[in-house]
Structure 1
């Protein structure tokens, strides 16, 4: 039982008037879980009883009492049907009432029975024959049977002719012969229209079956449920009931937008019953924005019932670059790809505008040329659709200040920064042209470290410059003398005095403009800065007094073997005479060559090469058939592709109709290659055009299995596609911290973030997930205390901007997470923290198949196909703190199921 909701209901009675056992009105029973004290929270018909009570369709047998398990009488069923049809006001209580003497009916009900006969939902001759057959019983007080009630319901929705046409067709139930031939057509239509379904039973051999049980008495709860579900088949406007698109939901207010463009706010509180179309209780935080919601209010305009009638968002999402706002025409213009598209808004429902940090901003304050996302309604005609909300996909603030680096991703250029003035932690993107300086010298992105103290400047929400004021790691600057790889030492001078340091095992060399610099590229008398690790060893040697100028796509004009002079033209036609020295590094697509091995390539006039030069020396010569970098321009008209390479240089390459390989999609062309994409470009034989473009893409998979003997890894995509990969030397395997791991280090506790280059995996990184029950949430500290299935409580730090999801709908912040929620905490394919709130499925146990680990629950009706669930290998099965097995369950035990990626991870009895 959901005790949380029970306590909310107990806080106050539902603000509605309910029809009592007479025909007057009375207030609901106080402190009840519904309008009736005997319909408890979690009762399977709670939603339907509550709804029909708010619609003034239902009545109690006494103030606050409904008797849900008692049978419904025929005369009660007829009154419910008339109210359901919306024609109760046509009852003439003062006119002459003439009923056959065989039909014994309570006086208060006679006028209703007469109207039912006039409207054709009761047939006089049929009911007289039934009353005559039941001599000694009062027709009105007798229980409505399932077949009789089905006929009443089918006629109430106007399908009497359909039933007569189906009268000679047998039903699909094994007890079809027990159904009255006069009722069989109504049963066929009732089942076919999903108004009623069969009931579980066991045949003589013990097998489970579904029968109709035509003469069984119908309970008041069942009758309420059937009429409630039948409302979808009949257009009736009930007093106080409206349906619209949900635009906003909070603990105290809902906002609905209607088809005529008007909107209205509805006040709710902790006692307001909120449901879903699948009959499960819900809450305001679980309501899906832009889906369809029905609200029923009482006579005093207080909300007594809320239902999410559809999860399907009645909106469209459009993304592009903001170009223009026309306040006069109420128009916004976006650049989407190469086309400009106009969208319109309504002044009476002006769109809500927020930036990437969730900060509200004025529509007029959106700067030009920033990326935005529009939510546009989809329930009006295309020409009449309006913008509902706008998200500026970056912060648009301008500021400067000082702070400490909380986290830094040099590849994604994303930075989390704790501001020294406000102590707030904000997220930023480093602009493309941003500079990072230390000691007055430009340094590379990798020189910025977590923990560094910096001064910074923000323009239009992106960091435009950084100065490293204090590095987390100690540094020393001097002049390079020599390096010994055997003893792992470096010698250098400071003010002419010789110094020596030990090198770390993973020491790296950095030279501005030279992405692949090694220790061999250090030259005597280079000005250097040494960075020390926690052990006091040199981890980085950065050359500060010398840079390497890249010449990408240069053409060989000549090479002098004796003088070792290489003459080239750069891409702009400028000529360079460069010396190939003993320290010049030469490679073929990354494979190092000796000068003798490289000679056939250097003497091949017209050959395309990449050169790094320092002064008149060639620091490196790369003979390439491919480039890897980031797309900065794709001119589909001129058919040129511009890349920024790893050394921050750029190159422009022509193309005609190259192959474009993007994982998971077919039929892509160069129009699908976007600015910002990381790509590998393969060149044709003459090195002057693109032959293939492999777009890099991060995809999250679910681990399936490994075979260490054959080096095979199997993983499943979110759409169910299973991939088989042979893990060779070209694929990097990492644990969740980025450290190298092996196939054996990957297991079913992991998700996998796979970096694909086209259709080929190049890196597999383990993603550890944490599933459990929320004990507490610290929104200020951005932590969650999580009780794991083992009973252990762990504190998970989730960062300042985690993505919180519920039913795949973003919730905005940690505020949406409540104690006792079940959550999974993981990182997505972009290493962003994702917290998924798992909504339980309330079911009734049927049986368990141990061989296939399949849990079967009772069907809601004959058409219900969602009744079998596979248990996860580590499923947590319990009642309270007591661990159970599936042998501890019996039909029809109430259970709650929590599912992740299609498998049950927790079963609660």
Structure 2
């Protein structure tokens, strides 16, 4: 975006101010804004920083007499135009200039008003947009919330207590709460309280201040505005980089360059390396530099472990540039892989790692991100691609590794004469030897599918909950069996199959011991990974000749024959015939070696994102997966499903909701809404269970079952099992309608609050190893304190023990642990229970793993010593001796 130096009026601030007969000289205004020398704005004016910045960003301008007039009020139209410009939508607004709007506004403003309607910034049905009326604080609060796309949070934020709260219009109260929670607007101190003054007109100074505070939620980068990380300040040159460090941007510092750290004036000498900066420039010169730190730059370096000297507590790493570097591991270093803590002895040569150094140049954090290839040469056969001569095995870690083999690859397979690669079966345990990166030898150490005379049959009925299966044998007889909790379930292609993955109609091979099934292998089908599937929509379907024409996601048309025994799923339900498929259905297909379809997964629902909801006219505006925006009529009897909501109707839909719709002609008949929830695990069913008991943020208990229909992920673990989930873990559950679709374990920090900065929205937490973390609590953050939930971090205080987990959109879920202050009596002889003056507490193994000095602390306690015990879900998380 170029600076305003032209005298063209359309959609400039000159145009919008002419509504009131105030016409600034735009070229002069740009010059004034650039220098910050408005006659009526002194350097110590409370809003001088924001006036300067918004002028440089071409959001506002001054007048031809050299003034800015900071105390003049703005009209609703002027405020709306400023918001559109702040969002970087000036050019897009021009495309709407011919769009009809239900308001009388100057020609220059028609495009911006039409765009604002399409973006939901103003809504004609609300009948509260009057272009020439002064913009009240209540009205601007609503506009600002919509600007930062937080309307879905209205009604959820904690109510803000203003002395004049009763004078805030009912329609505005939720918006005011969200605006205050996001630090977009604040009240006025009056005596011992704070007033909001909802009907007071917003001034130009106040408006630019609110626009500035909303920048962190917007994409404001342009040709002259950039956000990056400080690499260096050398002489009069400031060098900025992107997060990866690959792109560099250099600016010249002049005597006119203004520096700010937040809202405090500073100098270039006080800028810290890797600080996140906002730089506004002109002709390569930095005119405005602000330390914003919206997002901290990652300071982890990647390397490959070449050597481990355990006795010397030292590692040799090969860095990304190929150089070898030797480092000492700090005594308090955090070492792990994903969510698991490791010892240095757990690492082997060749492991891929990320690490961080402390100020002494020692490794303070070391995480394994990839296993050594040496460990990957042993596992079970996952797939043999004969056409491309590729052998894929699943290593003990669960990670898939693929290797090239050749025509001369030697196979050692006991009991087979002249074995070859083609004799390998999924599940065979093998060890590989490589020569020049090619598999030269395969040793089969154990065969898969050995059932020792096991029986075969067809599944007629199954219950995962009650763990029974009814099978029809080859002789036609039907018998019901109980399935052992530790039964081995095998399904080709599935990484961690459970009984829930077995379906009625499956052909199975099974073993029975003491009237219980101990192993069950599905023989007639394979589970396919999404990466192997072709996706698109059905363009045409010749059911007679079994020809399906697919329109791929990139627009290509391809025709395939469907084999007679192809597996067909529609919304997860098995179908036998092509008649169940229809034109325009979204599908994923799997091809065999002959390029014929053997698997079809179809979805008869339209996926979209909610843009606007018109409950009066039963209209729903959505953005489709193609990027196209469409308006649909909603059937009066529409069936809307939202998890954990009862009596759902259109009013329950939020802007930005992801939905799946079913259509009847042009009408929407069914809507399933995607919603995510943060849970804490209170119980894991055990090694062979796929059931977790969790607690939501309101303290309610839920059971979640993770089967093959649910995407399950844990950071750092490629193919996780449910059994590795621990009590106290935090997870994010995503539902589509009432169906659980995804479970993701969320990284969390446990520790002691060191400091709280409500004005910056940040807290500093120190964990039990002494490592401090700065946590930014974005809008939507919740703090659970006892049985109350808060949204403002000022309820936290130094010394609190907290568990902090990621929620959504940068928000955090924070739980303050219950603190019990008492005196120590004794320790159980087994060392797993502590007796105090109030009661006894069980000490789980996880506590000793978390608090590594606990053994010595307990041994040092004497009867009568004061102690503090911190509880999460009634489990001891930390014990502290209190002086």
Band the TM-score falls in, shorter-chain normalisation: 0.3 to 0.5
Of structures 1 and 2, the larger Rg is shown by 1
TM-score under structure 1 length normalisation? 0.35
After TM superposition, the score normalised by the length of structure 2 is: 0.35
